[in-house]
Every structure is written in structure tokens, then in C-alpha cells.
């Protein structure tokens, strides 16, 4: 597709979204909820055919993809339920008080209004849950915002198939086509054109730091800048303290190996840095982790360019750290494990780059203070996991506070891969893990991104709905 044709296609899609914007913003809860539930139903009804297409394009396997459809349908229905509970129509009312300020005031009603058409950039690694009908689309639709989906080049046939199913649902419910539109085959330049389109009022993005920050800059360079909700990846440090390792190191090693290689390591929450303290339990754990990783084979990565990116990032880390393991190669790359000390890690930015694949760096610290310095050097991250920080001690309190400063989610058990869709979830974090650390892209609070508060002063009752 030429640039002229791509821009024309974007213009047409955005124009339809703009035409539907007022209708969808003013639509009833029941109409929005019915659409979300019907989209979930149609995904499940066509699950078998969709999984075949998705596996051909992504190599993620039918079991993983079937589970992802279940998650996507679950969150579509969840947003419908959350919408019915009043999430998009919360009001705060302060009645008028006679007299002069500060005690006196007019009547004020704080309401939430849909922000307008949203450009949604699909992710490569979740072809259902972060794509055409994924969480960003579901949350924006629930908020009353039309969505223009930028299909991902890693699964174009699947994107078209899912969108066509969604379009049939819109037709069946007699809804405007512009409530959900799709832009196919758009280049990076066309993606920038979409972000800067004057009728787009917000952007939701899940992807790489490089691509996300480029689009974020374009969103802020517009004549009228717009919110850019970008989730840009993360290295997700996991701190394994001796207390945890002495109790159950073998099971923890097995669990961590599975998390590192899940989906060929192509998860934004994949643990990429393992922070440990010197000691016998740590040395035993490192051997157990290496042994657990050795026989594991990964499937092919999502795209050749991702494989190239992983190999390059791994080679850079290998130049600055000790290589402990290069495991068994399968259809995908062999798992890798590297080791360095805390001071080297803090001093070398190359060791803090994300390896988007089945690899991690073990960082050995001398004490808990040094562990905190390691976390501080990482900066913003989606998750930090703290194994063994369960006792209420001053040292653990300090460690948790540090983890909270740099993370959107802090775990005390388990591994960060697997992000539950619920009201309490937070999937975001300080820069550079996301561009809007006060928001989440997973969970029902995600729809708050696409609602703008308005205070109505002395308004008639009909205007306060």
C-alpha cells in the first residue's frame, strides 16, 4: 500500500469514528454492555477457526491461543459488568451553600465524559488479548469512545478475520460502523499519521520502547497534544532472598525457568533480571535454575525481526557479563542465563536493556542496600518480585518501598508472567515502562484512561446525566 493510499484509508476510518463519536458517547449502558458481550460471544463461537489462523501467523500454539481467546472474552464481559456497576458514570455532587467563599459555593456536579475517538495500536505478542478486541479496545468502547484499530503486521490475517466478525456484530445491533474500524497494513509512517490525525483524541499503545516513544513524541508535537497511553516493555526484576531459597529453592528454580521461557520469553512481564545475595543457598539456586533451563526448548519467535532483536540484545549482554548457560535450541532460540555483580550492573546501561526473549541476567549483591541500588538503577518497570520479604522488618519495609517506587505491580509470591484481569490490577509503571504511570492497561480501571472529568456548575438536572 502506498503512503497516499494508507493515509486515505486512515482518513476514512478516522472520519467514520468521528461521525460515530457523539452517538457512542451518549449511548446507554445497556447498549454498550450488549455490544461487549456479543463481541465475546462471537469470539468464542469462532474460536476453532481463529486459533488456526493465529497459530499459522504467530507460532504460539493452540493451547496458548485458546486460553488467550478465553481471557479476551472474559475481559469483554468483565467491562460490561463493570460498566453496569457505574464505572463510566460516576458523579460527585456538592450542593450549593449560601454565603461568600470559602464556605459558600454554587452547586457543582463532577461528571465523566468520553474523550473521543481512540487510536489503538495492536501488540505482536498477544494477538487476541492486546489486539483488535483486546483490553484497550474493550475499555475504550466501555468508556464510550469509538476505536480505530491499527492492525499489527505480525498477524494481519487474524486481525482482518476478527474485525470482520466484530463488524457483523455492529451491523446486527444496528450500530454505526465507525464505533470500531480497522486500519490494515499501515507502515510506521502511516502509524505516525494516525497519531497526529486531528480527529483522534487519545492513543493506546503496547509495544517496544523505540516504537512507543517515537509515537509518544508525535502525540505531544501535535497542535493540540493528546493523551498517549503507552506500555513500553520492562525487564521485571525478581529478588530472590536467602529466606525463600533456603525453604524451597528447587521449586522456585523450576517455576522461574518456566516463566522465563513461557511464550519464548515474549511477555512484557517476563523476568529479565534476577537479584540475589551472596551465599550457599544462592549458589545452589543458580545451579538448579541452570539445570531447569537446560532441557527447555522454545517455539519460534513471533517475527524474524524479533528473533534478530533478541540475538542482538543477548550478544550485547554477553559482552558485559559472564555467560552461565546457553541451553537447548529448538524452533526458537536457546534459553540464556548470564551473571554479573551489582556494581557492574549499576554502572553498565547495556546490562539493563530488555532482552525480549528467553533470557535473564543474575545480579549478585553484597547486601540489601545494594539490592535497592540495583532496583534504583533499573528505574521504571512493570513489575518487581520479592521472594522472601515476608517478615515485618525495617530492611524489608525499605526494600518494599523501593520496589513500589520503581514498579507498577509488586509481587511477594509467584512470578510476574500472567496478569489477572480484575478491578485491583495495575499494569503500568514509571517511565520507561509506560508513558502514563498513573494508569493501567489491564483491569477494569483501564477505562478511566478514556474518560475526562467535567465540573458542571448550577446545571439543570437534564445536563447532569
Strand arrangement of the beta sheet that strand 92-94 belongs to: 92-94, 108-114, 451-457
Q: How far apart (Å, rounded) are the C-alpha atoms in residues 278 and 276?
A: 7
How many CB atoms are closer than 10 A to CB 103? 8
Q: How far apart (Å, rounded) are the C-alpha atoms in residues 111 and 453?
A: 6
Instruction: Identify the residue whose cell numbers are 512484557.
Output: 268
Spell out the residues 6+ positions from residue 48 whose beta carbon is closer than 8 angstroms to its own. none
Q: How far apart (Å, rounded) are the C-alpha atoms in residues 118 and 121?
A: 10
Catalytic residue among 231, 354, 364, 370: 231
Q: How far apart (Å, rounded) are the C-alpha atoms in residues 54 and 102?
A: 60
Task: Could you list the beta-strand ranges (E) of 115-227.
Answer: 118-121, 147-150, 180-183, 202-206
Instruction: Identify the residue whose cell numbers are 486512515.
Output: 10
Alpha helix segments (H runs only) across 268-329: 280-293, 304-320
For 55, the enclosing helix (H) or strand (E) is helix 47-58
Q: CA 309, 420, 120 angle in degrees (round to 5)?
A: 55
Beta bridge partners of 181: 148
Cell of 189: 509512517
Q: Mind giving me the DSSP string for 447-460?
A: GGGGEEEEEEES--
User: 257's torsion region: left (phi>0), alpha (psi -120 to 50) or beta?
Assistant: alpha
Task: Could you list the beta-strand ranges (E) of 66-166.
Answer: 92-94, 108-114, 118-121, 147-150
Kindly report the backbone phi and psi dihedral angles of residue 435, in degrees, each rounded to the nearest multiple of 5, phi listed first. -90, -10
Cell of 444: 477494569
Cell of 325: 548457560
Is the peptide bond between 256 and the residue preceding it cis, with omega within 30 degrees of 0?
no
Task: Could you list the beta-strand ranges (E) of 397-464.
Answer: 407-411, 451-457
DSSP state of 97: B
Known catalytic membership, residue 448: no
CB 375 within 8 A of CB 274: no
Catalytic residue among 268, 364, 370, 372: 268
Known catalytic membership, residue 145: no
Instruction: Identify the residue whose cell numbers are 521461557.
Output: 261
Cell of 272: 529479565
Catalytic residues: 231, 268
Amino acid at each position: 500500500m502506498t503512503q497516499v493510499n494508507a493515509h486515505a484509508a486512515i482518513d476514512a476510518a478516522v472520519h467514520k469514528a468521528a461521525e460515530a463519536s457523539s452517538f457512542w458517547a451518549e449511548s446507554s449502558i445497556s447498549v454498550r454492555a450488549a455490544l461487549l458481550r456479543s463481541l465475546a460471544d462471537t469470539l468464542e463461537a469462532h474460536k476453532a477457526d481463529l486459533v488456526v489462523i493465529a497459530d499459522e501467523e504467530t507460532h504460539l500454539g493452540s493451547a496458548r491461543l485458546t486460553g488467550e481467546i478465553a481471557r479476551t472474552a472474559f475481559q469483554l464481559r468483565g467491562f460490561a459488568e463493570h460498566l453496569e456497576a457505574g464505572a463510566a458514570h460516576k458523579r460527585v455532587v456538592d450542593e450549593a451553600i449560601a454565603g461568600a467563599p470559602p464556605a459558600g459555593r454554587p452547586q457543582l456536579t463532577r461528571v465523566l465524559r468520553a474523550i473521543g475517538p481512540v487510536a489503538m495500536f495492536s501488540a505482536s505478542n498477544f494477538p487476541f488479548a492486546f489486539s483488535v478486541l483486546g483490553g484497550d479496545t474493550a475499555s475504550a468502547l466501555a468508556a464510550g469512545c469509538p476505536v480505530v484499530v491499527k492492525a499489527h503486521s505480525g498477524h494481519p490475517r487474524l486481525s482482518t478475520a476478527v474485525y470482520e466478525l466484530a463488524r457483523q456484530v455492529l451491523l446486527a445491533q444496528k450500530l454505526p460502523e465507525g464505533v470500531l474500524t480497522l486500519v490494515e497494513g499501515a507502515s510506521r509512517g502511516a502509524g505516525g499519521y494516525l497519531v497526529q490525525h486531528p480527529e483522534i483524541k487519545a492513543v493506546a499503545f503496547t509495544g517496544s520502547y523505540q516504537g512507543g516513544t517515537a509515537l509518544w513524541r508525535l502525540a505531544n508535537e501535535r497542535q493540540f497534544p493528546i493523551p498517549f497511553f503507552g506500555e513500553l516493555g520492562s525487564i521485571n526484576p525478581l529478588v530472590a532472598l536467602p529466606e525463600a531459597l533456603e525453604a524451597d529453592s528447587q521449586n522456585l528454580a523450576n517455576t522461574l525457568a518456566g516463566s522465563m521461557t513461557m511464550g519464548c520469553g515474549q511477555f512484557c512481564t517476563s523476568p529479565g533480571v534476577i537479584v540475589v545475595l551472596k551465599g550457599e543457598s544462592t549458589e545452589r539456586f543458580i545451579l538448579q535454575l541452570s539445570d531447569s533451563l537446560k532441557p527447555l526448548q522454545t517455539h519460534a519467535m513471533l517475527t524474524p525481526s524479533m528473533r534478530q532483536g533478541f540475538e542482538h540484545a543477548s550478544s550485547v549482554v554477553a559482552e558485559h557479563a559472564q555467560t552461565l548457560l546457553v541451553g537447548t535450541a529448538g524452533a526458537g532460540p536457546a534459553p540464556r542465563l548470564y551473571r554479573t555483580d551489582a556494581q557492574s550492573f549499576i554502572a553498565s546501561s547495556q546490562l539493563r536493556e530488555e532482552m525480549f526473549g528467553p533470557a535473564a541476567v543474575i545480579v549478585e549483591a553484597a547486601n540489601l542496600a545494594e539490592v535497592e541500588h540495583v532496583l534504583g538503577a533499573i528505574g521504571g518497570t512493570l513489575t518487581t518480585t520479592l521472594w522472601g520479604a515476608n517478615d515485618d522488618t525495617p530492611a524489608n519495609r525499605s526494600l518494599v518501598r523501593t520496589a513500589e517506587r520503581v514498579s507498577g505491580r509488586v509481587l511477594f509470591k509467584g512470578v510476574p508472567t500472567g496478569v489477572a484481569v480484575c478491578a485491583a490490577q495495575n499494569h503500568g509503571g514509571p517511565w520507561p515502562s509506560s508513558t502514563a504511570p498513573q494508569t493501567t492497561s489491564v483491569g477494569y480501571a483501564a477505562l478511566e484512561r478514556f474518560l475526562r472529568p467535567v465540573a458542571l456548575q448550577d446545571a439543570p438536572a437534564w445536563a447532569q446525566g
